[in-house]
Amino acid sequence: MAWSPDKTEVKSWNEWDTLRHVIVGRADDCHIPPEEPALDAKVPEDSDMRGQWGRRPQETIDRANELLDNFADQLRKRGVRVDRPVSIDHSQPVTTPDFHTDSQFGCMPPRDVLLTVGHEMLEATMSYRCRWFEYLNYRPLLKQYWEEDPRFRHEAAPKPRLTDADYHPDYLSEKIGDAQRLEWAAEKFFVTTEEEPLFDAADVLRFGKDLVVQHGFTTNLKGIEWLRRHFPDHRVHTVNFPGDPYPIHIDATFTPLRPGLIVNNPQRRLPEEQRGMFEKNGWEIVDAAQPAHNTPPPLCYSSTWLSMNVLVLDPKTVCVEKSEVYQAEQMDKLGMEVVEVELRDAYAFGGGLHCCTADVYRDGDCEDYFP
């Protein structure tokens, strides 16, 4: 049955079928959390964020919200239904029997927390202590979907304990250097240990029957095994991108645009031995264009490669950040219609156009693209 804006239905099997319903995050009450092992390992060593924490300046929150609201309106004008999270109080500390942190993070990148696979939305375990309760920002929406869609499966992965045993102490040093980080990445030695299953939803890409999952800082092998057991009708593939000294989240690294076409970060190429399933099935993997910026904006966790963190609206249309002119030009050459969206001043709140959204409904069914 065709999608109707008057009826709530959760369904999305891949990253590119026509998008009908989406969640767009908010910058409300976003905090820079205090130091903690998994977060510190991701903050670049020369970053302006080192050593400071607290609520983000109000003018930056207002500006990010203005951009996120405009993006939501742009999507609505194109006929997409847009929902927004309800911010909890992120200044509240989190104390469990196993850890304490003095503040939380925010509700800007829903893609990190929520994984939609078919009729299911799965709350990820997360691996940062400051993000342990982040799912609560989305609970009012998930409650509504559950009440309105009888087929909707609301699932939550087991909450991790996040004791010190979850983190390799080698990553706690302030100065590690990129050479050492790259050596560790090549050895698949990341900040998170194999103490318990850990994953962020943004480490997972959906290709119908296949889920492609990055093993890195935020997702460990037990997390991938957990996903494999949780989705027994899927094939779950582990991938690595050894060129990335700070490997979190696959969506500024490997971006499928439509069946048969992926753009790959040229500094984080998929190793030859992991390309088999794509090559055998005639998929093209092309190098992404260079970012338009040499540095991320102030107080930003992410790299300049948010340039390729795009949101595909359908197999011929893609949202690209407005200042990312080289990425837009490449998308055009690849036959995509480009929708420009201004978002750079919201990057610091947790990412780009893919990060700041989570799929609720896309047309299409669960296809096998890699038979």
Among 101, 137, 240, 302, binds ligand ABU (CB under 6 A): 302
The CA distance from 219 to 231, in Å, is 16
Q: How many CA within 13 A on the CB side of residue 268?
A: 29
Among 38, 205, 355, 360, binds ligand ABU (CB under 6 A): 355
200 is catalytic: yes
Among 36, 196, 251, 359, binds ligand ABU (CB under 6 A): 251
DSSP 80-126: -EEE------TTS-EE-SS-EES----BS-HHHHEEEEBTEEEE---
Set 90, 355, 356, 359: catalytic member: 355
Question: Of 181, 142, 154, which is closest to residue 42 (Cα–Cα)?
Answer: 181
The CA distance from 205 to 196, in Å, is 22
Verify binding: residue 113, ligand ABU, rule CB under 6 A.
no
Set 166, 249, 314, 354: catalytic member: 249
- Smallest distance, ligand ABU to C-beta of residue 87, A: 19
- Smallest distance, ligand ABU to C-beta of residue 111, A: 8
Verify binding: residue 303, ligand ABU, rule CB under 6 A.
yes
Question: Is the distance from CB of 268 to CB of 253 less than 8 angstroms?
Answer: yes
- Smallest distance, ligand ABU to C-beta of residue 288, A: 11
| Torsion, CA 185, CA 188, CA 190, CA 192, rounded to 10 | 160
The CA distance from 186 to 244, in Å, is 9
Close Cβ partners of 255 (under 8 Å, ≥ 6 residues apart): 15, 262, 263, 264, 288, 308, 309, 310, 354
Nearer to ligand ABU, 8 or 303 (CB): 303
> The tokens 């990820």 sit on which residue?
124
Verify binding: residue 264, ligand ABU, rule CB under 6 A.
no
Nearer to ligand ABU, 10 or 130 (CB): 130
Residue 279, classed as helix, strand or coil, is helix
- Smallest distance, ligand ABU to C-beta of residue 185, A: 13
Verify binding: residue 256, ligand ABU, rule CB under 6 A.
no
Q: How many residues bind ligand ABU (CB under 6 A)?
A: 10
Close Cβ partners of 6 (under 8 Å, ≥ 6 residues apart): none
Verify binding: residue 305, ligand ABU, rule CB under 6 A.
yes
> The tokens 């910058």 sit on which residue?
27
Among 252, 310, 318, 339, binds ligand ABU (CB under 6 A): 252
Close Cβ partners of 119 (under 8 Å, ≥ 6 residues apart): 10, 11, 149, 151, 152, 153
Nearer to ligand ABU, 101 or 307 (CB): 307
Among 249, 258, 344, 362, binds ligand ABU (CB under 6 A): 249
249 is catalytic: yes
Question: Is the distance from CB of 355 to CB of 107 less than 8 angstroms?
Answer: no
Sole window of 70-78, 149-157, 282-290, 301-309 interacting with ligand ABU (rule: CB under 6 A)? 301-309
Question: Of 291, 299, 290, 310, which is closest to residue 345 (Cα–Cα)?
Answer: 299
- Smallest distance, ligand ABU to C-beta of residue 46, A: 14
356 is catalytic: no
Binding mask 30-49 for ligand ABU (x = CB under 6 A): --------------------
Could you say which residues in the range 183-242 bind ligand ABU, by CB under 6 A?
202
Nearer to ligand ABU, 10 or 107 (CB): 107
Set 200, 210, 314, 359: catalytic member: 200
Residues lying near ligand ABU in the complex (CB under 6 A): 202, 248-249, 251-252, 302-303, 305, 351, 355
Catalytic residues: 200, 249, 355
